[in-house]
Structure 1
């Protein structure tokens, strides 16, 4: 897809989103609102019960685009938390209209996100799930502003899958059945103290999503990315992985970095070398360079 670019006297913003599978709808979306200085990424999460609307959009597509539209229409006066609250309520209404069993969390549609708004002297942000937000300072140091709240649950499921496959005594159908139970259990932890945050229509999202502000003093660049941009290093124990990730994203640029990831994914189609749920995930990134 075409790269978004904005440049003015204070800011250069580049953004791009690509589907992991070109034959399927992209469940990622970009949040772009230059008038209100709001930018970010959104990763749709489809319910485990298959659903598509008349246009072929999955529940994850609907959720991601609903939040993106809400952010695009937000005015500079609106608090980001309130924008998310409004989108979350509208998502619940859409699910109820579609007959989704809202009482069963793993059947809900959802979206995770990392969104920021640039003020004159500080950055305001909201985040849920495994989307990440980083800041690079003028001295080259990198700050992970957010935490990947989903990594722990993903790793547990992936390690179980690897153990069952390596054991060799379980039929593929039995492995799939066990994985489904694990996924359902993880989804049911959404917006609880035992889990992670996700916009899935549950009002508890507002209590569990991350939000806040950081000073823009000496900040050179701000980055927002979905997990498809870093799923090779998501479970790495390397303490410097985020610094390396940001450095390479700067070096290659968003589009070439995505191309490089695709090449690596094609070399590991069975997800053996790098543990992950699918060969290639949707990828989205926003890079905002603050001009001195």
Structure 2
């Protein structure tokens, strides 16, 4: 299996809140849930710390416990990561650090996978593409999200709307009334999308955070066949370069309305044969 990875932080002066790692036959990609700067999260460590530790624990579970399902591995990793926080972290805080998750592992003749949140997994079955993910919508906040995108970039109005939207999401997530994410509640893993695909039918697969998936979903620089072909021929770094080029050409988010002008972006591309 040939694997290529690329990642870029949103800004050069802060660490990326994405995480990606692999071990030959198991892979994880996580996208930390970002928050407005002024929003408290009850944790002394921060999102980047959380995402890295959850990713490492999940990868270890995938490799060491083939008897556990993908959802069970994520549940175990969430519990193990929660135990590292310490008494000064409030894991019951609505904004406790959280992440979107994509995971995959070879298991016998199949690829097992799990996706939780708005990151995406793309399976290439010899030119037929299956896109899995972006599976935790929040319809109750959609109107407010559109207002954020419509407000002038950098304006006080946009900042206020963004804070209102972030508070609404945090109040609803992991409650059964909003999106499920990997935070401090192990049972969130039960709401992940899981499945298997015969390795013999797969030519390749890719995992992308929403910052990388902007190539297709936000900027319409091509469809998924184009994105997969680009990563196969020139690597995921070229896909990220084109995403950054589009972001830079539209700093005010006018041509492509979006929540953030730039985002952390990470992609993994694996050629199975």
- 1:227 pairs, out of 202, 210, 213, with 210
Deviation at 1:17, TM superposition (A): 2.1
Give the aligned partner of residue 22 of structure 1: 12
- 2:121 pairs, out of 115, 125, 133, with 133
Distance change >3 Å, CA 233–CA 77, structure 1 → 2: closer
Aligned length: 266
Deviation at 1:155, TM superposition (A): 5.6
Give the aligned partner of residue 61 of structure 1: 48
Which consecutive segments of 4 or more residues in structure 1 shift more than 6 A? none
SS in 2 for 1:259: helix
Q: Which ranges in structure 1 are unaligned for 5 or more consecutive residues? A: 1-10
Give the aligned partner of residue 266 of structure 2: 284
Q: Which ranges in structure 2 are unaligned for 5 or more consecutive residues? A: none
In the alignment, is the contact (CA less than 8 A) between 1:46 and 1:59 conserved in 2?
no
- Partners of 2:10 and 2:204 in 1: how far apart? 26
- Partners of 1:235 and 1:216 in 2: how far apart? 30
In the alignment, is the contact (CA less than 8 A) between 1:45 and 1:59 conserved in 2?
no
Alignment of 1:258 with 2:240, yes or no, is yes
Deviations 1:124-182 (A, max 9, x none): 112111111111122x111113344348678644421244449xxxx944543333122
Give the aligned partner of residue 179 of structure 2: 196
Deviation at 1:183, TM superposition (A): 1.3
Alignment of 1:115 with 2:103, yes or no, is yes
Give the aligned partner of residue 181 of structure 1: 164
In the alignment, is the contact (CA less than 8 A) between 1:158 and 1:276 conserved in 2?
no
In the alignment, is the contact (CA less than 8 A) between 1:111 and 1:198 conserved in 2?
yes
In the alignment, is the contact (CA less than 8 A) between 1:38 and 1:71 conserved in 2?
no
Distance change >3 Å, CA 257–CA 197, structure 1 → 2: same
- Partners of 1:128 and 1:290 in 2: how far apart? 23
SS in 2 for 1:73: helix
Deviations 1:176-212 (A, max 9, x none): 3333122111122223443222111023302212222
Give the aligned partner of residue 223 of structure 2: 241
Distance change >3 Å, CA 78–CA 286, structure 1 → 2: farther
- 1:88 pairs, out of 78, 94, 98, with 78
In the alignment, is the contact (CA less than 8 A) between 2:203 and 2:272 conserved in 1?
yes
Give the aligned partner of residue 5 of structure 1: none
TM-score (normalizing by structure 2): 0.84
Deviation at 1:123, TM superposition (A): 1.1
In the alignment, is the contact (CA less than 8 A) between 1:40 and 1:286 conserved in 2?
no
SS in 1 for 2:217: coil
- Partners of 2:199 and 2:258 in 1: how far apart? 34
In the alignment, is the contact (CA less than 8 A) between 2:41 and 2:97 conserved in 1?
no
Distance change >3 Å, CA 247–CA 214, structure 1 → 2: same
TM-score (normalizing by structure 1): 0.79
- Partners of 1:227 and 1:151 in 2: how far apart? 16
Deviation at 1:76, TM superposition (A): 5.1
